[in-house]
Amino acid sequence: MTKADRDSEVAGFLGASAPSDGHRRKRSYLWGALAVLLIAGVGVWVMARRSDGHQITTQDVRRGNLIVTVTATGNLEPTNQVEVGVEVSGTVTTVEVDYNNRVERNQVLARLDPTKFKAQVVKSRAALEAARARILQSQATVDESRAQLGRLKRLREVSKGTDPSQLEIDAADAALKRALADRASAKAEVAEANANLEASEIDLAKTVIHSPVDGVVLVRTVEPGQTVAASLQTPVLFVLAEDLTKMELHVSVDEADVGRVRPGQKATFAVDAYPDRTFSAEITDVHFGAQEVEGVITYEAVLNVDNEDLSLRPGMTATANIIVEQVQDAILIPNAALRFSPPIREEAGPSGGLLGRLLPRPPRSAPRNRQPPSGAKKQQRVWIVRDGGPVSVPVTTGATDGITSQSVQGDLKPGTPLIVEMTLE
């Protein structure tokens, strides 16, 4: 077979098996039309479902008690915490208490080496004795000078003023005055020496460190053999808590809530050590001084805590709920109903094109009602279901705990279902 015959045979085979260009174009048009019809069908189905109805979630109005609380965090502290230091320098010889030991007033906590202080007492006592001896000496000089002056005056009277001379009498008088001054100085030296002796005895007594209160040892910072120096600042050796059965909770109240917090209000708090237990407390003071931490202004409130079983410990972090308002037998509205507004469906315009007409857009919600601050009366509205659709009802709200709000004016009655969520289908 020649080459021309082979080419003719191949061309004939290809022409018989391969589809023509016109056939391929017809198949492409068919698939495109099917895709357009499918998209249109889906869009019409979705729009039909969206226009058929909607799903509504409601919550009922109820009657009950409303408790408004303010949350604050802080730490537990003893009602009276005493730092025990030492005013003298020396070497610690004994430490007679340890952590958590109960101590009584005037109980010995530690002792310093008293050798140097005992020597100082002996020295001060010797100086006092020397000063007293100088008083005796000056007193003898006074007696001698007074006798000499008297003798000269009697002799002058006997000699009718001729002997001794006036100069001798004046000298004797001056000597008596000097003796009296020396005696007064000696008495002052005795007083000074006596004060020095008392100071030395006090320093000696301070080598024995006593507890100033009845309490519990929280911190001990000294060990036997340690040298303490009380030169510029008194070193703290022990920290005592006077009574751990009565404690204080110091919490930081936000500036937005401090206006509602007052002494006498009750509170509850919890600590991480007892996650299933709630403790009671009462506010005793709200400080006027502000505290700023990272740009946040807070005010410190102090709460009294009963710790009779000693389960609470100083330094524990607590989260307190302070009861600032209580409303009895109130009509309560869920705050979710106050925040609800029915969604508004936006229809696609002509400029949306074919896909804009076929595919629906997501619903756009109207502006929601904002929750009023607790205790402030505010006109709001809620929505109920009527004739298969949402209908607004005006209501005036009062106190709120963040979940429910008090209805102070309106036509709502307990058991009325309020719309809290509506989903278009």
On whether the CB atoms of residues 209 and 221 are closer than 8 A, the answer is: no
Residue 112 neighbours by CB distance under 10 Å: 24
Distance CA 168, CA 174 (A): 10
Interior angle at CA 283, CA 278 and CA 287, nearest 5 = 130
Distance CA 299, CA 255 (A): 7
- Give the 3-state secondary structure of 321-390: EEEEEEEEEEEEEEHHHHHCCCEECCCCCHHHHHHHHHCCCCCEECCCCCCCCCCCCEEEEEEEEECCEE
On whether the CB atoms of residues 267 and 282 are closer than 8 A, the answer is: yes
Report residue 402: phi and psi, to 5°.
95, -20
Residue 273 neighbours by CB distance under 10 Å: 12
CATH 3.20.20.80 fits 55-64+330-424, yes or no: no
Return the minimum-mean-pLDDT range out of 3-7, 94-98, 264-268, 323-327.
Answer: 3-7
Q: What is the pLDDT of residue 376?
A: 56
Residue 13 neighbours by CB distance under 10 Å: 10
Q: Which secondary structure element, helix H or strand E, spans residue 180, and what is its range?
A: helix 166-205
For 289-318, write each residue's pLDDT tens digit.
999 988 999 999 999 999 999 999 999 999
Q: What is the pLDDT of residue 26?
A: 53
Q: What residue segments make up the domains of the chain, in order of their start? A: 55-64+330-424, 70-79+245-326, 84-112+207-242, 114-206
For 62-81, write each residue's pLDDT tens digit.
999 999 999 999 999 999 99
Distance CA 28, CA 20 (A): 13
Burial of 230 (0-12, 13-18, 19+ CB in 10 A): middle
376 vs 205 pLDDT, higher one: 205
Report residue 17: phi and psi, to 5°.
-100, -35
For 228-281, write each residue's pLDDT tens digit.
988 777 889 999 998 899 999 999 999 999 999 999 999 999 999 999 999 999
The single-letter DSSP state of residue 315 is T
The model's pTM is 0.62
Residue 406 vs residues 118, 267, 334, 375, 410: alpha-carbon distances, Å: 77, 21, 9, 9, 11
Give the mean model confidence (pLDDT) for residues 101-125.
95
Least Cα distance to 149 among 124, 132, 128, 166 occurs for 166
Distance CA 314, CA 199 (A): 38
Beta-bridge partners for 388 = none
Burial of 366 (0-12, 13-18, 19+ CB in 10 A): exposed
Least Cα distance to 407 among 333, 335, 336 occurs for 333
CATH of 84-112+207-242, one of 1.10.8.420, 2.40.50.100, 1.50.10.10, 3.60.21.10: 2.40.50.100
For 394-404, write each residue's pLDDT tens digit.
999 988 888 99
Distance CA 306, CA 13 (A): 104
End-to-end alpha carbon distance in the chain? 74
Distance CA 271, CA 276 (A): 9
Q: What is the pLDDT of residue 34?
A: 62
Give the mean model confidence (pLDDT) for residues 15-44.
51
Q: What is the pLDDT of residue 284?
A: 96
Q: What is the pLDDT of residue 391?
A: 87
When pLDDT is cut at 50, 70 and 90, the band that residue 52 belongs to is very low
Distance CA 420, CA 337 (A): 5
Least Cα distance to 315 among 266, 220, 244 occurs for 244
Instruction: Domain 70-79+245-326: state its class.
Output: mainly beta
Return the minimum-mean-pLDDT range out of 24-33, 97-106, 339-348.
Answer: 24-33
